[in-house]
Amino acid sequence: MREVKFRVFDKDTKRMHVCGEDIHDSMTFINNQACYYNLQNGCGSLPEHEGEGTYELMQYTGLKDKNGKEIYEGDVVEFKSMSKIERHCVEYSEYGEWCVGMHRLPMRFQTCEVVGNIYENPELLETK
């Protein structure tokens, strides 16, 4: 059975943490969408009436990179393709599978390395 975990990026404090590591974490599902809610400050991942939520929620893929690090949605992974090094963001595709660029993540996870994520390290995806 696959382990189901989430992490959140707090847009206000610019910090990332795994849900459940803090006693103030709360997870719920609304209209089949996973939502995070911080019981301490009353903010969450759902867009509010006047703007966006203060947290970005990311799901664990159930896979680990070549160094044993857990791979989450939004992670930037690096791998060798043909003769060059590629970096891509981990995303959930419309076909119901985790992907990096044009590659299925399950086919690449043993050779890829998590080098950051799109919230804390957006520069990793900038073209050189």
Instruction: Output the domain CATH number for residue 37.
Output: 2.30.30.290
- What is the side-by-side strand order in the sheet with 103-104? 103-104, 98-100, 84-92, 75-81, 113-117
Domain range enclosing 42: 6-125
The answer to whether position 1 is within a domain reads no
7-40 pLDDT per residue, tens: 999 888 888 988 888 888 888 888 887 888 888 8
Q: 12-16, 36-40, 48-52, 88-92: which range is least confident on average? A: 48-52
The answer to whether position 111 is within a domain reads yes
Query: How far apart are alpha carbons 15 and 7 in whole angstroms?
Result: 11
Q: What is the DSSP string of the chain?
A: -----EEEEETTTTEEEETTSSTTEEEEEETTEEEEEETTT--BSS--SSS--SEEEEEEEEEE-TTS-EEETTEEEEEEETTEEEEEEEEE-TTSSEEETTEEHHHHTTT-EEEEETTT-GGGGS--
The answer to whether position 67 is within a domain reads yes
Q: Give the total number of structural domains in the chain.
A: 1
Asked if the model's pLDDT at residue 51 lies above 70, the reply is no
The answer to whether position 61 is within a domain reads yes
